[in-house]
Amino acid sequence: MELNVKLQVFEGPLDLLLHLLEKNKVNIYDIPIVEITSQYMEYIEEMKRQDLNVMSEFLVMAATLIDIKSKMLLPKDPKQEEEEEDPRAELVQQLLEYKMYKCMAFELKDRQIDAEKIMYKAPTIPKEVMAYEEPVDLQELMSDVTLARLNEIYKSIMKKQADKIDPVRSKFGKIEKEEVSLEDKMVYLEEYAMNHEHFSFRNLLEAQAGKIEIIVTFLAILELMKTGKIIISQEYIFDDIKIKSKIAA
């Protein structure tokens, strides 16, 4: 008759390794890698019928243990002056971090259980208490207030307001946004091109009022070039661009 043995469920390969170390009561900084690897492989054999997705993580750790075991069985080179790094060092660091997080999880679980035993009472303040307002004696409150005192308070407030004003920025004027549409500028350039067969690109831009108008004028020229109403040319690099109108009267 087949005997079914229920295995202990572990959250991952590090959880299994930590269990084996605690079970064998060994120092985590000095893992007996041969013995632990053998016990680990025995557990893997019992898990063969389990879900392959779960098994994959344990198999990767098994390969890591075998790799460490093989490195530790190799003879050390006596000619090598520097002390070789312990192949178990990285695994020990992972186990220490996992153990720390596991202890923290247990602590949080205990706090959650303790918190579930605590009951809180909703506040029940009588309406009379909530509606109570401490009476104010206006005569007593205003007993030391005089016109001179009020004047001092007023001057103090006005001084604070004056100190907030930036002496430089307060003199700046308001910058008005230039409203220039591409359509209006194209109409203007078409009329200009009708009356001027040849004109200068530089002179045209210098005649504009501001930066925004210069940009819109440049875009309007590109649009007129696209429609074939003007032709531009430049004899040498950095020379002025000459514009020829194809719609001049």
Q: Tokens 């005997």 belong to which residue?
A: 3
Tokens of 111: 């706090």
Residues 240 and 200: beta-carbon distance below 8 Å:
yes
Tokens of 96: 């220490």
Between CA 175 and CA 181, with CA 178 as vertex, the angle to 5 degrees is: 165
How far is Cα 244 from Cα 221, in angstroms, rounded to an integer? 11
pLDDT, one tens digit for every residue, the chain (249 residues): 333 334 466 777 888 888 888 888 878 788 888 888 888 888 877 776 665 556 777 778 888 888 888 888 777 766 665 667 788 888 888 888 888 988 898 889 888 888 888 877 777 888 888 888 888 777 777 777 777 777 787 788 888 877 777 776 766 666 666 677 888 888 888 888 888 888 888 888 888 877 888 888 888 888 888 888 888 887 877 778 888 888 876
Tokens of 217: 């004028």
Q: Where are the domains of the chain?
A: 13-74+86-115, 182-245
Question: For position 6, what pLDDT does the model report?
Answer: 42
CATH of domain 182-245: 1.10.10.580
CA separation, residue 232 to residues 44, 104, 117, 201, 248 (Å): 81, 76, 86, 9, 15
User: What single-letter amino acid sits at 203?
Assistant: N
Q: What predicted TM-score, i.e. pTM, was given to this entire model?
A: 0.38
Question: For position 4, what pLDDT does the model report?
Answer: 38
Question: For position 38, what pLDDT does the model report?
Answer: 85
Cα Rg of the chain, angstroms: 44
Residues 70 and 125: beta-carbon distance below 8 Å:
no
How far is Cα 80 from Cα 72, in angstroms, rounded to an integer? 16
How far is Cα 195 from Cα 192, in angstroms, rounded to an integer? 5
Residues 217 and 189: beta-carbon distance below 8 Å:
yes
Tokens of 97: 């971090």
